[in-house]
Amino acid sequence: MNYIDINEAGFQSLYINLNMKDVTITVYPSITFSIYKDGSSSSVATFNPYDNGNAFLTKNGYYHTLTMNVSDAAFSDLEDETQYLIESIKDGKVLYRGKFQTTSKNLGSYSVNENKYTERVTNNNYTIID
């Protein structure tokens, strides 16, 4: 799962696989991404990674890095602790469809199940979670 810290200004990255050859990224610069709140059919943000420097794509081995400037007004509608669907469709073909989670917590120590389970101390070698 990709995470975006909405309180951290500036550029943040999502790791995606566009199922495209290296050369097609530069040949088809009109790739458009749309972001939808999970369960909604209306777009929260639509952007092109090659427009005005607010997002860009790079190739890293078998995957791509989509870097976005979350301080930009295009991403101002992202809400805290919410899952979003991000997709890119070019000429009727789905290039990428995936999800990411927004959070205002520190990504270095982020835990999905934070404070939901308590560990009991026992004298055996098993961990029991309540």
Domain ranges in the chain? 2-129
Q: Which of the two residues, 3 and 120, has the higher pLDDT score? A: 3
For residue range 92-112, what is the model confidence (pLDDT) as tens digits?
A: 788 899 999 998 877 666 666
54-83 burial by CB neighbour count: b if 16+ within 10 A, else e? bbebeeeeeebebbbbbebebbeebeeeee
Tell me if 86 sits within 8 A of 100, measured CB to CB: yes
pTM: 0.75
> β-pairing, 11-16 with 33-37?
unpaired
Residue appearing with tokens 């199922």 = 19
Report the topology of domain 2-129.
Immunoglobulin-like (2.60.40)
Q: Is a pLDDT exceeding 60 seen at residue 28?
A: no
